[in-house]
Amino acid sequence: MPKKLFLAILLPFCLFAEEGMWPLNLVPQEKINVEYNIEIDDAWLNRAQLSCLRVSAGGSASLVSSQGLVMTNHHVASRAIYDCSSEEKDLMKEGFYAQSFEDELKCPNLYMDQLIAIQNVTDQVNRGITADMSLEEKEKLRKKNMAKIKEAAKQDTALQPEIVKLYQGALYHLYYYKRFNDIRLVMAPESHIASFGGEIENFEFPRHCLDVTFFRIYENGKPLNNQEYFRWSLSGPQFREPLFVLGHPGRTERLFTKDHLIFYRDHAYPIFMDFLKGKLRCFNRFALQGDEEARIADQDKHRFSNALKAYAALEKGLNEQTIISEKGKSELLLLATLNEKEQQPWTSLALALNEAKDYYTEHFYLEGTAATNLSKLYTWARHFVRLSEEIAKPNELRLKEYIDSELPTLELSLLSEEPLYLEYERELFIDGLERMKKGLGADHPAMQAALAGKTPQDCVNEIFRNSRLFDLETRREWVEHPESVKTSTDPLILFAKALDPYARTVREKMTQGLDAAKDEHYAKISHLLFDRFGETMYPDATFTLRLSIGELMGYPEQRTFIHPLSTIREAYRKANDHHHQDPFMLPPSWVEKEGVVDQNTPFNFVSTHDIIGGNSGSPMINAKQEIVGLIFDGNVHSLTWDFEFNQNQGRAVSVHSSVIIHALNEIYGADRLVKELLRG
């Protein structure tokens, strides 16, 4: 192959200097050590692994002392902070600091996972699969094999097993997690400084957000006694210094074909964007009813506003054609070097995507995103209905959420003691059901079965008058005796039962259709690229622990250059320029200490790290494994990194380690916490 052609094909699949989200057992140590003149080895990676945590709320965290002290983002912690609040004491607004261990607040429905070990189980997952099997047969056998692997792992150890699909199915790794369920709130700043600038400055830079919260892990009623944790750097990141981000990026799709990106642009994203906008309208309507209603809806408003802005950027990126055009060019170059058999995965994926157009909308409303966000109560009801059916089946034949190794996690969700706001849930349920009816059509059999001639409002009102699902003891009884759900006349259970056959049917279509095609054909594409390009490829993100390498660096923006560091002085100046009006309102604690703090203290900074959603709360460390920053966002140019990494302008955004210590000392008087961080 001519050298120029080889490089043109290779470019879309190879790395920028800082590109890559590496699983810790696949880190290219030699390449990194040579390129950055440092020494990373297995021991370094193992210490880092044990110092990192995955948060059940959907983010990352790290251990920062030997007494189980955990650091993450305020926005990752917000649900837990909210659950610890009340109408009388709004911890989101007022902030919180525990003066002693006894003052630390237990967080309901929050857990954290620590990765202990990784095992390659690719051969076991694919055991028994032959070339002449259909995609459906292969998918069923893999599912059966994975259930057996997880169950065996669960019996052999007290750890939580999870099978992770890498390279879109070319590899399967078994991750062993230690789960911590007793998590207590130690310190959280006020929301006005944690998210200073609000939606206006979201994904922008310079930023001035103290987006940090501290928890503590307890084990057997006492603070965790852990050997591995990250120490603290008072000086923070240095220019031209290699820096490491360790976190759990949620999902990227950089291996996806041109046809798959077009499917997203033309079918998946329009439905999803309409869903996000509808949910936000519902949150805003509820928030207008009063101050307490605004507090209740605030977390969901922030979460969905953030998602809408991010997906709008992704949709814009796909509509501008650059990403799709470049993907198409690289595919044409690659396909020109392949024989007909090697080209088959691209052809087969295109056919599967075309067929998925017939059932994607139905899946979205009955089984996918719209269904899982219909209402917390409906989610519980559907789990109970399915659990009552699945528990009677052999483990390997159950839906994956209900195999034995997943039941402890499910039980935590069903028996959650977090606050339940019934009027809020009622409005969400009515709104979601109305949009489901509109999306599927009033004459859809699922709608006719579930509504039984009633309007969504009448249906939901009847459920709320008579359901017992609001009661924790009722849910506890059903967890202990799931078979009793089969004979229940609870209206919410009956509603879930009416929808479930249609949801299961379309789930099966997706599982045996597009999902099976993705597993089969992206695995083949990955193998092909492996054979040609070797380990220059890293796997797409899977909400598992990854290492990203980068450095402190600004970026060009139009006709100027954005300096990589912001300062405390700029935050005060910005608040004054906006007359301390929301979202540029500094909390009283900051206003009172304006003359005390060091105005030159670095606040936030940008770096070249490859990150994505799920990296929020990731620690940034130097080669000595000292905390220099805390990832909390990316700039607007990073929002298309789902599909391609480009560091020309894209940057990760972090809280500087200096401002965290300075604020704890000078503004919050958190002496106990500062001593623990600096002592370890």
Q: For CA atoms 397, 399, 401, 407, give the dihedral sign.
A: negative
Q: How far apart are CA 19 and CA 566, in angstroms?
A: 24
> Packing angle between helix 422-440 and helix 376-390, nearest 10 degrees?
70
Degrees to nearest 5, angle at CA 209 with 205 and 214: 140
Q: What are phi and psi of 156, to 5 degrees?
A: -80, -20
Does residue 506 contact residue 363 with C-beta atoms inside 8 Å? Answer: yes
Residue ranges of alpha helices (H) inside 288-339 are 291-319, 322-335
How far is residue 67 CA from its own chain's centroid?
A: 26
Structure tokens at 52: 């990192």
Q: What is the pLDDT of residue 87?
A: 83
Degrees to nearest 5, angle at CA 152 with 146 and 153: 90
Q: How far apart are CA 201 and CA 636, in angstroms?
A: 10
Which three-class secondary structure string do you get for 631-646? EEEECHHHCCCCCCCC
Q: What is the pLDDT of residue 17?
A: 53
Structure tokens at 64: 């920062």
Q: Residue 273 corresponds to which amino acid?
A: M
Element (H, E) at 279: helix 269-287
Residue ranges of alpha helices (H) inside 11-117 are 29-36, 42-50, 74-83, 91-94
Q: How far apart are CA 158 and CA 257, in angstroms?
A: 40
Low-confidence ranges of the chain (pLDDT < 70): 1-18, 534-536
> Packing angle between helix 376-390 and helix 407-414, nearest 10 degrees?
140
Q: How far apart are CA 92 and CA 78, in angstroms?
A: 7
Does residue 292 contact residue 419 with C-beta atoms inside 8 Å? Answer: no
Q: How far apart are CA 550 and CA 21, in angstroms?
A: 11
Q: Residue 446 corresponds to which amino acid?
A: A
Does residue 376 contact residue 296 with C-beta atoms inside 8 Å? Answer: no
Q: Who contacts 191 (Cβ-Cβ below 8 Å, separation ≥6)?
A: 74, 78, 92, 93
Does residue 433 contact residue 498 with C-beta atoms inside 8 Å? Answer: no
Element (H, E) at 653: strand 652-656
Strand 626-634 and strand 231-232: the pairing is: parallel
Helix (H, G, I), strand (E, B) or coil at 120: strand
Does residue 218 contact residue 521 with C-beta atoms inside 8 Å? Answer: no
Q: How far apart are CA 101 and CA 104, in angstroms?
A: 5
Structure tokens at 251: 């999902």
Q: Per this entry, what is the length of the chain?
A: 680
Q: What is the pLDDT of residue 2?
A: 43
Instruction: Find the distance separating the first CA and the last CA of the chain, reported in whole Å.
Output: 55
Of 58, 523, 37, residue with least CA distance to 247 = 58
Q: How far apart are CA 332 and CA 463, in angstroms?
A: 55
Residues 481, 483, 487, 488, Cα dihedral to 10°? 40
Structure tokens at 297: 């809806």
Where do we find the tokens 């106990």?
Answer: 672
Q: How far apart are CA 680 and CA 675, in angstroms?
A: 8
Beta strands in 554-635 (DSSP E): 555-557, 560-562, 565-567, 602-607, 619-621, 626-634
Q: How many CA atoms lie within 13 A of 402 on its CB side?
A: 19
Most distant CA pair in the chain, distance: 75
Q: What is the pTM of this model?
A: 0.91
Structure tokens at 137: 């047969």
Q: How far apart are CA 198 and CA 301, in angstroms?
A: 12
Q: Who contacts 445 (Cβ-Cβ below 8 Å, separation ≥6)?
A: 502
Q: What are phi and psi of 8, to 5 degrees?
A: -65, -40
Q: How far apart are CA 344 and CA 367, in angstroms?
A: 30
Q: How far apart are CA 540 and CA 251, in angstroms?
A: 7
Element (H, E) at 514: none
Does residue 405 contact residue 154 with C-beta atoms inside 8 Å? Answer: yes
Beta strands in 35-190 (DSSP E): 52-55, 59-63, 69-72, 96-97, 105-106, 112-120, 160-166, 171-180, 182-188
Does residue 213 contact residue 187 with C-beta atoms inside 8 Å? Answer: yes
Q: What is the pLDDT of residue 418?
A: 84
Q: What is the pLDDT of residue 515?
A: 95
